[in-house]
Amino acid sequence: MFRRLLHAQTDPPSSRSALRDRFSEHPALMALMAIVFTAFALAVPAAYAAVNRAEETAATQVLTWTAGDDYMKYTSAPTTAVAGKATIVFESSAATGNTTGLTHTLTFDVSNPDYNSDVSLNILASPFDSAGGRHTAEVTLTPGVYRYFCAMPGHQMMTGELIVTAAPGDDTTPPDTSATVSGTKDSAGNYVGSASVTLTASDAESGVAGIEYALDGAAYTGYTTPVDVKSVGRHTLSYRATDKAGNISPVKSVEFTVVAPEPPKDTTPPDTSATVSGTKDSAGNYVSSATVTVTASDAESG
């Protein structure tokens, strides 16, 4: 019956009139169908609008690099982008300041593990090429950081980073975090003299924006290098990470104890000596009595 009502929206007027007469005997059913059609009328345009907005965003993401007479830097370059399809534009022409005919490239680094390596791009451009120095490429970017550079000899200073974030609302997953404590341990598992805490974080969607830590309840501070703890006692180091979409990981903590080092063990015996004194005869013997003085010294434990 519901299917028949849905099809009635495209039926001839005479059919729709007959159907209304048929259902006029059931007011409750007519009221229910009115709600269904209202919800359908509101939901469908909204859904289509959301799809259209997403397609429009993807279609309008154009990232442009330009180069000119300077072989130390690009004339202009984007710094951020949104994950998804993008049109890359690289132009090195008179219009962008290349009046000497220098040849430049826009090359994405795919060999450095510190950067995204999923986009292989190497565009060569000069004012005298067949395209007049303006070239385009279609790529799909993923969240993270891309490093780009000019591969022409002597142009290595032309480099930079493109930070790509997840599309708004796409990344709702916080980063994964972990901590490792290192140092010399005693037989009880305590760290002797000091302990070093190394923090790591990873985020497969928008990428990690930063890591923070707090030692023994102090305020959080940004983490850049391993945290060295030398004060004797029990310690708690709390940590968390934030990704580029703004998601914050749950706070985790690691506990450890630092103890003072024991004094070095003395394995060297003392030095000893003895002297004899008294009155001697011509043969060197002591007459009546002799006094023996014994001494000892130890430079370590005493």
| Cα(64)–Cα(91) distance, integer angstroms | 8
How much of the chain, in percent, has pLDDT values that exceed 90?
A: 67
Q: What's the pTM?
A: 0.46
Q: Pairing state of beta strands 208-215 and 221-222?
A: antiparallel
For residue 24, what pLDDT is reported?
Answer: 53
Q: Which domains does the chain have, with CATH numbers?
A: 2-57 (no CATH), 62-165 (2.60.40.420), 176-259 (2.60.40.10)
Assess whether pLDDT exceeds 90 at residue 236.
yes
Question: Which 3 state secondary structure label does DSSP give 94?
Answer: helix
| Cα(235)–Cα(116) distance, integer angstroms | 37
Q: How far is CA 173 from CA 118, 201, 216, 232, 273, in A?
A: 22, 13, 28, 38, 77
pLDDT digits (tens, 9 = 90+) for 265-298: 888 999 999 999 989 999 999 999 999 999 999 9
Beta bridge partners of 50: none
The helix, strand and coil proportions of the chain, stated in percent and rounded to the nearest 5, come to 20, 40, 45
For residue 27, what pLDDT is reported?
Answer: 57
Tally of CB atoms within 10 A around 254 = 17
DSSP labels, 241-270: EEETTS-BPPPEEEEEEEEPPPPPP---PP
